[in-house]
Amino acid sequence: MCRDALLVTLLLLLLLLAQRLRTCRYIMASIEVKSNYIGSRRYPTQEEASCPRPGCVCNVTHVICVNSRFKNSDVFQQIHERAFPHIDTLIMTGNRFGDISDGLFTEGETHENLSLMNLTGNGIVKVSSLTFKSTPAVQFLYLNDNDIKQAGRYVFEPMKRLRLLDMTGAIGRRPAGSKADLISILFEAEQRGFVELAELKLANNHIENLHKDTFCKMLGLRRLDLSMNNLTSFEVAVNCLRSLEALDLSRNHFTTFSTTLWESLESLSTLDISENPLHCDCSLQPFAMLAKQEKYSFVNQGKTTCTSPPSRAGRNLFELKEDLCRKKWLEFRHFYSPSCHFSCFLVFFFVSCFLSKAPTVHLSNRLFINIFNSEKHYLNFFLRISLSSSKSLMAYRHYRTRTPTRSSTQFGYSGLDSDDGALHPEFV
């Protein structure tokens, strides 16, 4: 009996122990789940915690705020140097900043690694030398689609390493002369100038004229885009733009071009003059002959057509075979052509006879009136001249086959070479 009681006691102990083991396993599993959950939670990085809100995405090297609709430039004050020590790209678009002449970032801070800054479509109206003071390492700056109407001197000079500046549609509407002054001020430099700047885009700014010395401080500029403006001429001062290789003057209001363009731009090799209202007459002849040379490359040749005169309207400048000065010469030649020699001589002869038989040889208005006052005398004389001329012309036509004629002579040049496959040169 004692033995049975002992067995029952042991069995109860085993059951109790098994229950305790299951409880321990549940507790351990719970602890493991909680530990895994805690381990999976990630605290924000320094850059993420300092990222402007709302609508911005930040990491170690990038701050991107697209169409964030900020109403002032205070958002830049949140991008501190200590919070973003390695930032190299800043994209801030679709805002209404207005005046940013006091500087973008906190005074005294410098973003030494920032190399690309995109400020497209921010309604910027005013800039100064303080605006980009904290970004000396920027190489690529995009200011497209703004409304800049005021600028201080030396705006871009703090950016010593600037290589590309895109100001397409960045200049606000102003009178033509005032806009030329504004653009000239924007590119002033107090010291060495823009040595690294290789490409400048000023397209679609309604520019009507530019000062000759506007780009003189851009010592290393290789590509200049002035397309989609209202320019009718383009001149540069002596020793300016000496490194310029490619020039885009397409979609302006040019009617002719001068060969002095190449004389003043010694490195120029690529030019786009497409979609201009070209007047293809003798004034364009020197330029057309120069364009024929193989050392020059013309982009968009298929879109470079004549607008006037009517005889050449719509024709491609690079496919014209005739001499652009030929029309005037042909008119002169036609007047003195072999078929006209005899009849013209007769006309001149009878006119001379008429004048010699007139009451006086002095060609005053008063004497001419006296001569032609007699309508009957004039008609009789005119009929005599006409009859004599007709008889002489018939005799000439009968014997003209015996008269040797000049052989036709070819004038002009064989035509400009077409280069529709020309490509834009590669730049930064």
d(CA 30, CA 350): 128
Q: What is the mean pLDDT of residues 257-282?
A: 90
392 lies in some domain:
yes
pLDDT digits (tens, 9 = 90+) for 52-107: 887 899 999 999 999 989 999 999 999 999 999 999 999 999 999 999 999 999 99
Residue-averaged pLDDT of the chain: 78
96 lies in some domain:
no
264 lies in some domain:
no
* Number of structural domains the chain divides into: 1
Q: Is the pLDDT of residue 216 over 90?
A: yes
Which 3 state secondary structure label does DSSP give 297? strand
pLDDT digits (tens, 9 = 90+) for 181-213: 999 999 998 877 899 999 999 999 999 999 999
Q: What is the mean pLDDT of residues 7-32?
A: 64
pLDDT band, residue 24 (cuts 50/70/90): low
CA dist 87 to 10, 22, 135, 142, 253, Å? 71, 54, 11, 17, 43
d(CA 65, CA 51): 10
379 lies in some domain:
yes
283 lies in some domain:
no
Q: Sign of the CA dihedral 44, 49, 51, 53?
A: positive
Contacts of 347 (CB under 8 A, 6+ apart): 389
Q: pTM of the entire structure? A: 0.69
Q: Is the pLDDT of residue 369 over 80?
A: no
Tokens encoding 204: 């679609």
CB atoms < 10 A from the CB of 2, how many? Answer: 6
132 lies in some domain:
no
Give residue 410's pLDDT. Answer: 37
Give residue 292's pLDDT. Answer: 74
Burial of 191 (0-12, 13-18, 19+ CB in 10 A): exposed
pLDDT band, residue 328 (cuts 50/70/90): very low
Q: Is the pLDDT of residue 312 over 60?
A: yes
296, 278, 283, 291: which is closest to 324 by C-alpha? 283
193 lies in some domain:
no
367 lies in some domain:
yes
CB atoms < 10 A from the CB of 52, how many? Answer: 19
375-399 and 338-357 helices cross at what angle (nearest 10)?
150
Q: 301, 420 in Cβ contact below 8 A? A: yes
Domain containing residue 375: 328-402
Residue type, 327: K
